[in-house]
Structure formats: C-alpha cells, structure tokens
Amino acid sequence: MRKDYKLLEGKVVETSEGSCQIFVYVNPGPDEMKYLLDECKIDAHNLSSALDPDELARIEFEPDHIATILKRPQNYSSDDRFLFKVSSLGIFLFKDRILIVIGDEVPLFDGKHFSHIESVKDVLVKVIYNIILHFLGHLKVINMISESLEQKINTSMKNHYLLNMFTLEKSLVYYLNACNSNAVVIDKLKANAPRIGFIPESIEFLDDLVIENNQCSKQADIYSSVIAGLMDARASIISNNLNVMMKNLNAIVIAIAIPSFFAGVGGMSEFSGMIGFKHWKIGYPVFILAMVLMGGGIFILIKAMERLWRK
C-alpha cells in the first residue's frame, strides 16, 4: 500500500494529487516492489533490509540516492505478553523526493516537531526524531509495567510474574541494541552533512538528535540494569527463604526424632512393666505428655543455639 504526501506551508500533508515529494510504502506488494527495484533503482538488499526486523541500522550512498536503514519500536499488542519488539524502516532520499518503506502502518508524521520543514532532507531528520520519541514513550511504559510487576512479585509466589520481568528485560536489551545501532546512522549523517546537503539548521538539529538518542540509550540501559538487579535480588530472597524453611524443617525433624526414639522404647511391653506403667490409662497419657514436652524443649534449644550462632 502506498501513501502520498507533500510539503505544504512547512508541514507534511497527505494528498492524492500527482505533485508529491514523500511516498510511504507500507508492506509493499509484488508490483510495488518491482517498481522500487526497477524504476527507482533501489538495491534489492537494501529494500529487503527495510522489511527485516533483524537487520542492523546503516546508511549507504548510492549514485542517485541515499539509503538509510533505521531501527524503530514495533507497535505493542497484548498478544506479545510484555515483549516489546523492534522492527526496521527504510528511508531512501533522492534529490527531490523521499521514499519510506515500512513493514506495518505507523504514524510517521504526527507531532508538533513536524513543522518548519523546508525540504525532503528535513523529513529524514524529523522521522529519526520521531523514532527516538517513540522509543522513549515505550521505555516509560516498560518502567510502569516493571514497577507494577515488582509489587505483585513481592506479594505473590506465582512464577508468571517473574517470567514477565524476564520478558521486559529481554525487550530492553533489544531496545538498547536498536538505539546504539541508530546512533551509528546519526553520527554518519552528521559527518556527511555537507555531502548530503543539509542546511545549518538541520545540522544543528542533528546535534540534538545525538543527545536525544544517547539519553534514550542510557535510559534503556538504566532500566535494564534495574530489572536485572531486581531479578538477582528476588532470586537471593527466594534462596534465603528456602534456607530458613529448611532450617525450620530440620529443627522440627530433630525435635520429633528424639522423642520418637523414647516413645518406641517406651512402647515395648517389657519396658512398660519395668517402669511401672502397667495401668495404661495413666501411663500412656503421661508418657505422651513427656514426649511433647521433650520435643518442644529440643526445638526451643535448637532455635536458641541458632540465634547464638548468628550473633
């Protein structure tokens, strides 16, 4: 599917007229792919890279255009189960027009920053800025989700909350890699600004893009470190709780085992006769009470020794 846009009074406006400078191809079909390859002379590898979510960001200078592959956040769906995916975007800058190839439909030209656009070269840098803002928006959502999951993990023993945290950590790794990959493209655009034909205002805006992208990358790194630390701390807490539980169980086992020995011996008819417990209605209740007191005393003694050992 193709959408046509033109520059009108410094803004990008969708139009159906023939005089257009911006063409957006959303998941292009066979005929559109053939047109891009044959008529626009776009390299087949670059065109396929624009639709490949695993492709790294890069920029290539062709004889009649500049091919730019960027990483962008993919639209989140509830079916993704807290996995925020990354996709690719291809921008092909010609002298008097710009072609954008994307796998799914997203709002590319929304936001107040899409103003005061004088040429198609400005569209390129504004789209990059829009991608960075999209990443920042997703990072805020990821942070909110992680805080919610943290509260649930503290009050629940279910494993799926931990799995959701692992998924968020995986998403942040993808986002961090995408931001670093886009940083290479931005730096190369800045280094070749005279060759591309950027005006001084666009070059200054590229400096701002470098700062914004670095902040986005650092923010993703911080969130990833926080979640990783939280997962490590949670694993340590679980291990510590397990150790405490095993200590208590061992104390209970020992407290039961010793009285059980005497109960087994006391249950022998010969031993009962020796200690004078011939009247079982009196002897057995007394013997059971003695075993309970012995077990409780042993348990208290073990816990007291444990507290002394901790000191």
Pair 279, 209 in one domain: no
In this structure, the answer to whether residues 227 and 249 fall within a common structural domain is: no
How many Cβ atoms sit within 10 Å of the Cβ of residue 304? 10
Distance CA(108)–CA(127), nearest Å, equals 7
Domain boundary among 198, 221, 238: 238
Statement: residue 92 has pLDDT above 90: yes
**Residue 187: pLDDT band with limits 50, 70, 90:** very high
123: CATH: 3.30.460.20
> Of the residues 193, 223, 238, which one is the last residue of a structural domain?
238
Q: How far apart are CA 91 and CA 50, in angstroms?
A: 8
Of the listed ranges 19-33, 55-69, 224-238, 272-286, the one predicted with least confidence: 272-286
Q: Are residues 163 and 278 in the same domain?
A: no
Residues 56 and 130 in one domain: yes
Range of lowest pLDDT (1-5, 29-33, 302-306)? 302-306
Where a domain ends, among 186, 219, 238?
238
Question: In terms of domains, do 221 and 142 share one?
Answer: yes
What average pLDDT does range 213-221 have in this prediction?
92
Q: Say whether both 215 and 279 belong to one domain.
A: no
Q: How far is CA 253 from CA 132, 135, 149, 249, 287, in A?
A: 60, 55, 37, 6, 20
* pLDDT at residue 177, rounded to an integer: 92
Indicate if 119 and 65 belong to the same structural domain.
Answer: yes
**192 vs 269: which has the higher pLDDT:** 192
Give the Å distances, CA to CA, from 4 to 124, 129, 174: 16, 21, 31
Mean pLDDT of 84-106: 89
The total domain count for the chain is 2
Verify that 62 and 208 share a domain, yes or no: yes
Assess whether 76 and 199 both reside in one domain: yes
pLDDT for position 283: 60
Enumerate residues 6+ apart whose C-beta is below 8 A from 29.
Answer: 1
- Token couple for 137: 């928006």
Looking at residue 67, its pLDDT comes to 92
Indicate whether 214 pLDDT > 90: yes
Average pLDDT over residues 194-223: 89
Question: What confidence score (pLDDT) does residue 183 get?
Answer: 93
Whether 209 and 288 share a structural domain? no
Q: Is residue 291 pLDDT above 50, yes or no?
A: yes
pLDDT at 1 over 80: yes
The arithmetic mean of pLDDT across residues 73-91, rounded, is 84
Residues 207 and 293 in one domain: no
Q: Which two tokens stand for residue 150?
A: 């943290």
More confident residue, 244 or 265: 244
Does one domain contain both 127 and 148? yes
pLDDT interval class at 182 (50, 70, 90): very high
Provide the domain limits for residue 288: 239-310
Region 39-51 average pLDDT: 89
Question: What is the pTM assigned to this prediction?
Answer: 0.76
* Least confident among 163-177, 187-201, 245-259: 245-259
Q: What is the mean pLDDT of the chain?
A: 81
The residues, ordered by sequence, that sit 6+ positions from 237 with a Cβ below 8 Å of its Cβ are: none
